[in-house]
Structure 1
Amino acid sequence: MQYAGGTATIPILVHLDLKGAPPKISYLRQLLPLLSYHSVSGLLVEYEDTFPYQGDLSILAAKHAYTVDDLRLFIGDCAHFNIAVIPLVQTFGHIEFALKHEAFAHLRENENYPNSLCPSKPDSFTLISAMIEQIASFHNTSPAIHIGCDEVFQLGVCSDCKGRMGDRVWSKAQLFSAHVNRVAVHVKSVNPLLRVLIWDDMLRACDVVTLESSRLKETIEPMVWFYGAQGFPDIWSRYSAVFPTIWCASAFKGASGPTATIPDLSLRVANQQAWQAVIEDNATRVTSWGGFVLTGWSRYDHFGVLCELLPSALPSLVLCLTILNHGKFTPETHALASKEVGYPEGSLISVGELKVMPSVDLHRSVPAAAIWLNSIRQAILCNAFKKFIGSDLFCGWFHQRNIAEGRLSRGVVDQLLGQVEQLIEDFDKLIFESQCLLPDVFDSAICEEWMDTHCRTYLHKLRKISNKMEQVLQFVR
């Protein structure tokens, strides 16, 4: 259950981002043998509004939230496979799912934006404490809890925070640290055995003196996230001088753009390779690596559209896990991952080129692999749509000016109309296929959102173009 990267060995965890597209528990249970096979030792589970909050917090639970019985069943199955479940609950930034509600809107740092909590209002800590108590008590066998704290875009801007910083002569970094420490101490009061993790990005601008004086090293362990191939933040000398344990986070999905439907496998491989280099370069500097998390985002934030669905990203996850367990990316590891997902050609990465549909043995592939292929088909059609509306033929002969003046070539418009009708037919088939496949994994609301966002949007535009072409052709001789 370890990452083999040069001289370092680190436990592997997989992040489940359940906001917006929570798979059915039956599907999540199907994934556990796959994760166990790849030596995954833990799941970082970001519930957001899918946790079955009770009492005064019940308003936070979405209609598609899991039931208590479902989660107990899943956590029990995880224990059977020796996979720890570490809950992630946002307690500072990215807390839109709570602050969007009128009952908690007064706790916003900026009244216009529900993404950041005010750390100075007494009721803020009341809310966070209650959330932590319910999450921590439910996960009473977890080794750690992640309290978020990334991208606190609104910090120290409200009158309460400005007054507090003025009275205590605090910087924004000190205001941030005070809230994080308070939350972490409360976690320890609920369960002294819990390790407390946070995302690191709000600490990246801090020097060693600021980090030392914050006393964060006594309460939390930072998790450094980086999803690119280059441009790593220059933080290792500072972090290693302060924090005894540092965690790492790459990505297997949710890092290819907010509207992506399949991961960019070349970039995902490059991301793992970048992390391998960083770990090896800092093997003697960092005292302890807490764990290596493969993140899998479902939305860029609570209000964003759905990006890659979990089944569509499993081949990426398999590829990334294979790389991590073998310590590097080679033709051999590529071939192993390709074969495991039913792509024996050993060229899984070429799927990302989106030119033709791959030939996949679904009987030897990952759970719900048909949804992966469905997403590839969607991505190919999306590219075809963009290529069509950006083509010389469409832009040069069906411009709004041409239409307004009636300067149209019937031959060209007939040709364009044929292309549009073919795309409409292909998108209709895609939607029908999606309607058959998605309900096996997701509830009806998620299925509809996916098809509206990634299928019907293009279909509506194409039909509008088709109707316009048929209309103008009546007057072209």
Structure 2
Amino acid sequence: MEAGGEAGGPRRRLVHLDLKGAPPRAPYLAEVLPLLRALGATGLLLEYEDAFPYAGPLGPLRAPHAYRYRPGRARGGRGAGPGPDVSLCPRSPGEVRAVLSQARAQGLEVVPLVQSFGHMEFVLKHKEFAHLREVKVFPNALNPHKEESRALVKAMIDQVMALHEDLKWFHIGCDEVYYLGEGEESKQWLQQQDNTPEKLCLSHIKAVASCVVSSYPTVTPIVWDDMLRGISEETLAESGVPQLVQPMIWDYAADLDVEGKVHLVEKYRRCGFSKVWFASAFKGATGVNQSLTLIGHHLKNHLQWLKVASSSPADILEGIALTGWQRYDHFSVLCELLPVAIPSLAVCLQALKNGGYSEKIKENVEKLLGMANLETETFMSTSLGTFPGSNILTLVTQVSFYLKSSVDELLERNRYVMGWFSPYHRKRKIIHPIIMHHFQPDAISLLSKWNAVVQDLQAAMEQVFHKCTVEEWMEENVHPSLQKLQEVVDDLDKAIKAQN
């Protein structure tokens, strides 16, 4: 079939793995890839960010939990100087290579994503690269006027390319380039006749894309489309950018404007873009600190994209990326963890593959996930499954639904705590001996119940994530309530001792 897949869905369906937060351990990814394939994925959009094992002068970009070149070997790089790092040799059986060869074995095409303009926080936060910021105080956007900026981007792209074989596409990011034109050099440039922020944006995109195409002639660059949307057809067409890149039109809303998107596709076609991509979301797009995924929202988003696909010329759509954001940006908190959102991803992939969603497709998803009943309109509270990481979903659901509410119930709505063990009493260790019998057993049993759940969750998460991810998630979602509860139990103990 042409651009449509089975029953009219996009033929290429890339699952976006956002590794700038909670990057899963390589063995977990190996478990998940066959499931993605079975659900209808045809490829992966890998946004490495600081999880890529950058080497040499780029060593500082590598997070402590970055994927290794060689399991069990200290990561080379910092001391390696600017020369080629031996661990880039094609036979190095590192974690990235392992994931890539498993993807290949599953028939999943890989498209790497390296930011090259906006969202450069993971690079520009480091003192070694801070002089390349567009605006001195903000680490998000790259200064497009400096030769060194392009050299940096080229070095990043080259290192990522070196670990990938047979690439057809390479995503160079370029979304949300905030404060573009507000740097000192930009202000001077914009004073010259006919220069505009739009032209500045297009010239940098063109420079990066040209660099990719000249070094890797068989690879087509992809860019996020938000910086292009508002640019006039004439400016776009004259820029030469449409001959170099394919735009990825993104919108994660449940009520996405189908007609507006169809017009946008037509506009891009008139400007000279040969193909476009769509980008939907299966998680990470409904709340900056969201811990559970509301499947219904994401399913609606995908059904709207199917309408856009069916109303667009059949030969213009290259494919769709199902984004799964793990942070809104490098500095924000974690949103839904990958295992938590696998049911949402399953529903969305199956809807795209089949050109819609029905009871029959729902049954197929349940079978593939090993789940008895898949709820799309509520956060599943009784969800048990057999897919990789399903125990994390079950425990995160328990914590998200009941931890804070049960602790608040005891501390803020129990009349004995409010009336006879207020902060005033606790500070002075005053307690009426009769009163403690009314709530001490409840407090102790609630604490031991939650400690057990949290221990199970921690063990399950450590199988999938690095310690720093587990720590961050616990500090954000568990510790505030658990500490409150622990402190009340401790204060009760102290008060009773003081009485005796």
What is the TM-score with the length of structure 2 in the denominator? 0.83
**1:130-173 C-alpha deviation (Å, 9 max, x unpaired):** 11111123223111100111111121001101111222532111
Q: Provide closer, same or farther for how the CA distance between residues 426 and 299 of structure 1 changes in structure 2, counting only shifts above 3 A.
A: farther
Q: Secondary structure at the match of 1:185?
A: helix
Q: Provide closer, same or farther for how the CA distance between residues 425 and 338 of structure 1 changes in structure 2, counting only shifts above 3 A.
A: same
| Corresponding position of 2:286 | 256
Deviation of 1:413 after TM superposition, in Å, equals 10
Structure 2 unaligned spans of 5+: 70-93, 427-431
| Corresponding position of 1:432 | 455
| Structure 2: distance between partners of 1:34 and 1:10 | 18
| Structure 1: distance between partners of 2:452 and 2:19 | 28
| Corresponding position of 1:77 | 102
Report the more deviating stretch, 240-249 or 219-228. Answer: 240-249
| Corresponding position of 2:11 | 10
Q: Is the CA contact 2:9–2:355 (under 8 Å) kept in the aligned structure 1?
A: no
Q: What amino acid maps onto 1:314 in structure 2?
A: I
Equivalent in 312, 315, 322 of residue 283 of structure 1: 312
Q: Provide closer, same or farther for how the CA distance between residues 207 and 398 of structure 1 changes in structure 2, counting only shifts above 3 A.
A: farther
Q: Is the CA contact 2:119–2:176 (under 8 Å) kept in the aligned structure 1?
A: yes
Q: What amino acid maps onto 2:18 in structure 1?
A: D
| Structure 2: distance between partners of 1:30 and 1:109 | 41
| Corresponding position of 1:274 | 304
| Structure 1: distance between partners of 2:377 and 2:438 | 31
**1:335-373 C-alpha deviation (Å, 9 max, x unpaired):** 22123222223x33266154xx33x2x4xx211211121
| Structure 2: distance between partners of 1:173 and 1:386 | 52
Q: What amino acid maps onto 1:210 in structure 2?
A: T
| Corresponding position of 2:324 | 296
Deviation of 1:412 after TM superposition, in Å, equals 11
Deviation of 1:471 after TM superposition, in Å, equals 8.7
Q: Is the CA contact 1:381–1:423 (under 8 Å) kept in the aligned structure 2?
A: no
Deviation of 1:404 after TM superposition, in Å, equals 6.6
Deviation of 1:179 after TM superposition, in Å, equals 0.4
1:441 paired to 2:467: no
Structure 1 unaligned spans of 5+: none
Q: Provide closer, same or farther for how the CA distance between residues 190 and 461 of structure 1 changes in structure 2, counting only shifts above 3 A.
A: farther
| Structure 1: distance between partners of 2:312 and 2:450 | 50
Q: Is the CA contact 2:294–2:377 (under 8 Å) kept in the aligned structure 1?
A: no
Deviation of 1:447 after TM superposition, in Å, equals 1.8
1:352 paired to 2:379: yes
- What is the identity percentage for the equivalent residue pairs of Structure 1 and Structure 2? 33
| Corresponding position of 2:30 | 29
Deviation of 1:235 after TM superposition, in Å, equals 4.6
**1:314-347 C-alpha deviation (Å, 9 max, x unpaired):** 12111111111121121222222123222223x3
Q: Provide closer, same or farther for how the CA distance between residues 239 and 279 of structure 1 changes in structure 2, counting only shifts above 3 A.
A: closer
Equivalent in 369, 375, 384 of residue 405 of structure 2: 384
| Structure 1: distance between partners of 2:238 and 2:24 | 43
Q: Provide closer, same or farther for how the CA distance between residues 113 and 416 of structure 1 changes in structure 2, counting only shifts above 3 A.
A: farther
Deviation of 1:49 after TM superposition, in Å, equals 0.7
| Corresponding position of 1:129 | 154
1:313 paired to 2:341: yes
User: After superposition, where does 1:67-466 map in structure 2 within 5 Å?
Assistant: 67-68=68-69, 69-232=94-257, 234-241=260-267, 242=271, 243-280=273-310, 282-284=311-313, 287-345=315-373, 347-349=374-376, 352=379, 354=381, 357-358=382-383, 360=384, 362=385, 365-382=386-403, 384=405, 388=409, 393=413, 398=418, 423-464=446-487
Report the more deviating stretch, 454-463 or 100-109. Answer: 454-463
Q: Provide closer, same or farther for how the CA distance between residues 176 and 340 of structure 1 changes in structure 2, counting only shifts above 3 A.
A: same
Deviation of 1:51 after TM superposition, in Å, equals 0.9
Q: Secondary structure at the match of 2:141?
A: strand
Q: Secondary structure at the match of 2:159?
A: helix
Q: Secondary structure at the match of 1:177?
A: helix
| Structure 2: distance between partners of 1:257 and 1:197 | 26
Deviation of 1:29 after TM superposition, in Å, equals 1.1
| Structure 2: distance between partners of 1:66 and 1:319 | 29
Deviation of 1:44 after TM superposition, in Å, equals 0.4
| Structure 2: distance between partners of 1:17 and 1:385 | 33
Structure having the higher strand fraction is 1
Q: Provide closer, same or farther for how the CA distance between residues 385 and 107 of structure 1 changes in structure 2, counting only shifts above 3 A.
A: farther
Q: Is the CA contact 1:109–1:117 (under 8 Å) kept in the aligned structure 2?
A: yes
Deviation of 1:8 after TM superposition, in Å, equals 5.5
Q: What amino acid maps onto 2:48 in structure 1?
A: Y
Q: Provide closer, same or farther for how the CA distance between residues 209 and 455 of structure 1 changes in structure 2, counting only shifts above 3 A.
A: same
Q: Secondary structure at the match of 2:11?
A: strand
Q: Provide closer, same or farther for how the CA distance between residues 414 and 198 of structure 1 changes in structure 2, counting only shifts above 3 A.
A: farther
Deviation of 1:390 after TM superposition, in Å, equals 11
Q: What amino acid maps onto 1:38 in structure 2?
A: L
| Structure 1: distance between partners of 2:380 and 2:39 | 26
Deviation of 1:450 after TM superposition, in Å, equals 1.9
| Structure 1: distance between partners of 2:234 and 2:437 | 70
Q: Provide closer, same or farther for how the CA distance between residues 472 and 170 of structure 1 changes in structure 2, counting only shifts above 3 A.
A: farther
| Structure 1: distance between partners of 2:7 and 2:438 | 57
Q: Provide closer, same or farther for how the CA distance between residues 271 and 462 of structure 1 changes in structure 2, counting only shifts above 3 A.
A: farther
Deviation of 1:93 after TM superposition, in Å, equals 0.8
Q: What amino acid maps onto 1:340 in structure 2?
A: L
| Structure 1: distance between partners of 2:96 and 2:335 | 24
| Structure 2: distance between partners of 1:415 and 1:202 | 61
**1:253-273 C-alpha deviation (Å, 9 max, x unpaired):** 112312222211111111111
| Structure 2: distance between partners of 1:413 and 1:200 | 62
